[in-house]
Structure 1
């Protein structure tokens, strides 16, 4: 017989794995069962190292106390307003000083970058230096460059016409000694109209296209209209007025045909100046209307330019001080 004594048909012995001595020894400790933690309980218990529990102290709550509102007095309000105004004034003065400093820096930077006057184009060895800076591609917008250049060409054509007028009057004076008045006046017109036309109507229209200035536009229109009238008078050629126009040229035909032909050529030049001046005046006026300029803007620009001019300010201050001193001395 074999050594098996158990009956295979009997119930097996129930074995509890948690009753193993190794498991019971590891799980048996001196700490009691941890109670369930209720976070919503009124008091929270703290556990010491020896197992005793200590109730946690709850912070004592005190009712909130509202501070009474204190309204500022009128004196305090006035003082705060004055302090605010002084602070704003100091800020404005600081900004003005900053703008003036930046303007000086830009001017010095422009002088240091070599942006020097380039008109009239004189040699470097010439004792007189250029007086103006002129650059169509840099200073004039692209849509205005064509008209601005045409105004510049008209001014040069006008100068050439005045010079030819001097020569025609000289030729007339050589054949007729009584025409010395015309020759003298032609020299005077050439000396006066050449620089004045550049300063009085060409430079204003150049500045108007450059900076879109309403005041420059109005100044140009007023002066150039007078220039158109002068062109027409020169074209007509009234005798003894120093102009080789059509009347003066036709009157010389019976005495000297060659001189008459020369004077007729000059009269043709004056006619071209008159026609071109009328056409360009209309072109500039149409562009002026598209820029949005107005008479109110021109007045505003003039007033701002005069009031911000340091020479005008110093003159006004000196006049006011002298008037005040005269009043005190009179009293």
Structure 2
């Protein structure tokens, strides 16, 4: 047991390994380096006995060098600064001023139109109603105007261009029918067998000119004026028939009074000059057919965007029929007759 109680480190012959000069020097070097180390700086602790070359450090934050792309971006920002105030840059100020001028012009146009309509309504109130002004006939003419026609007064601004185009298309068609009469007359002068064509040409002009105005232009005019779905349906139904007539007249079957393509090619065998004239008239009928198809599509798009529908047309037709005095009188008479018959039957 004496061996266990003895202290081996107290032996004078025992050599402490931690007292070795090499170990003590290394421990002293590491300890001094850790005490001087600051983690918030970019400098590393210098180890004693080691010669190192270190660049001078700076405590300022790092700055990224500008590249060419960053320079171009900053230049674009300098030229067109991102701001919500249009008055800070001349170009945006000009655009804003142009937009304000455009809106001001639109407001002035609408104000002028409202003033004109108001004056028109005042004049109508003082005169007792609107006076018919179409067709524009002289005062001494035995027959007066039959309709009131003023697109700028009756039609809203957004539909005026479309209605004017349809009015010009009707005038173009009427002029084509008139030219067709002269074409058939010249053809009759060259070929005496074409008297039927000349007579039918006059008949088509006298029938189709007023009927086209009354049957499809006036419903279109009233549809845009009153936003009437029922009149839109009337226009579409009649205008499809009108388009078919344009195609038929452009074809130009002989003995039908139309200077179409078939008639023009037939006339070339008799007279080349008259045949060329008929070809020009056939081109006019073809133009009527093409423009009619284009305007039909445009009016249909406006009709779909206006919110009109077949149900609305039915309601308008029913309300219009029931508000008619003639229909009301007939219904009242029928109801009274039925009541009397029922009363007499009960007495018997």
How many Å apart are 1:325 and its aligned residue?
7.0
How far 1:132 moved relative to its partner? 1.0
Q: Which residue of 2 aligns with 1:245?
A: 260
* TM-score, structure 2 as length reference: 0.61
The structure with the largest helix share of the pair is: 2
The answer on 1:254 being equivalent to 2:282 is no
Distance in 2, matches of 1:128 and 1:209, equals 28
| Counterpart Cα distance in 2 of 1:326 and 1:259 | 72
Counterpart pick for 2:136 among 121, 128, 150: 121
Partner Cα separation in structure 2 for residue 264 and residue 229 of structure 1: 20
Q: Counterparts of 1:264 and 1:299 in 2: how far apart (Å)?
A: 45
The answer to whether the 8 A contact 2:124-2:130 is kept is no
Aligned to 1:288: 303
Q: Deviations over 1:234-266 (max 9, x none)?
A: 111111111100111011101111221221111
Q: Unpaired segments of 5 or more residues in structure 1? A: 1-105
Which residue in 2 is equivalent to 1:172?
187
Q: Which runs of 4+ in 1 moved over 3 A?
A: 106-111, 316-331
Structure 2 vs 1, CA of residues 310 and 170 (structure 1 numbering), >3 Å: closer, same or farther? Answer: same
Mark the runs of 5 or more structure 2 residues left unpaired by the alignment: 1-120
SS in 1 for 2:231: helix
Residue 139 of structure 1 pairs with residue 139 of structure 2: no
Partners of 2:157 and 2:341 lie apart in 1 by 56
Larger CA deviation: 133-142 vs 273-282:
133-142
Whether contact under 8 Å (2:229, 2:308) holds in the other structure is: yes
How many residue pairs get matched?
A: 226
Counterpart check, 1:182 vs 2:182: no
Change in CA separation of 1:257 and 1:110 when aligned onto 2, cut-off 3 Å: farther
- Partners of 1:253 and 1:271 lie apart in 2 by 19
* 1:177–1:303 distance in 2 versus 1, CA, 3 Å: same
Q: d(CA) in 2 for partners of 1:282 and 1:316? A: 40
Task: Within 5 Å, give how 1:67-216 maps onto structure 2.
Answer: 110=125, 112=127, 115-216=130-231
Q: TM-score, normalised by structure 1?
A: 0.64
Q: 2:269 is paired with a residue of what secondary structure?
A: coil
